[in-house]
Amino acid sequence: MTKTTTEYFLNRSKEPKHADESHLAEAFVRADRELGEQKIRLLDHLSAEKKSDGKVVPVFDSGVEDVLPDLERANKEAAAVNDNIHAYLNALGDFDSVQAMTERMLRLKRTADNLDRDVANLSKQAVTRGIERPQDDPAVMDAAVKRDRVVAESSAEVADLQKRISRAKEIVEGY
């Protein structure tokens, strides 16, 4: 089963670690149930009629017009919730949960913060050793280059994760 299927989502939303998804899953189940009920109401107005040529054709009675608006509404609601499930899973991408995305983003930020501290500590050590311009100290320069490289490499991923986390949260919070 692929990760973008509604069935996959409904199964995974039962797991405790995916409890934040349960309202969206419940909304789908309710919408699907309502759609099924409206289809049954529609079928209640359906009968078979035998034509003169012997073929049997379906015929709706006159009360079917009252059912159609509710059927259309239920169909739109089920489709909208299903679309949101797919959008949510697409926002997660290869991650298992919003929490996993958040942990990855925080790890990337923590790495950058740690490298900033390394540069600051090396600068202080350089000043303690009597170097007037610590930014010119080879150890400080190496640490700053490493920090800048890591920040440059991770900044696009951090921005992407922030956007995807926001989108995923927005979807599930709507339910």
Q: What is the pLDDT of residues 26-82, one digit of tens each?
A: 999 999 999 999 999 999 999 999 999 999 999 999 889 999 999 999 999 999 999
Shared-domain flag, residues 79 and 143:
no
Please check whether residues 116 and 74 belong to one and the same domain. Answer: no
Mean confidence (pLDDT) of the chain: 93
pTM for the model stands at: 0.79
Task: Please compute the mean of the pLDDT values over residues 122-134 and round it to a whole number.
Answer: 94
Position 129 pLDDT exceeds 70: yes
Domains in the chain, number: 2
> Which range marks the domain in which residue 15 is found?
6-92
Q: Are 114 and 81 members of one domain? A: no
Domain assignment present for residue 54? The answer is yes
Rounded to whole angstroms, how far apart are CA atoms 5 and 25?
12
Q: Is the predicted pLDDT of residue 14 greater than 90, yes or no? A: no
Determine the distance from the C-alpha atom of residue 84 to the mean position of all C-alpha atoms in its chain, rounded to a whole number: 8
Please indicate whether residue 14 or residue 38 has the higher confidence score (pLDDT). Answer: 38
Share of the chain above pLDDT 90, in %: 86
* Amino acid at site 123: S
What value does the CA radius of gyration of the chain take, rounded to a whole number of Å? 29
Q: What is the pLDDT, as a whole number, of residue 143?
A: 96
The single-letter DSSP state of residue 54 is: S
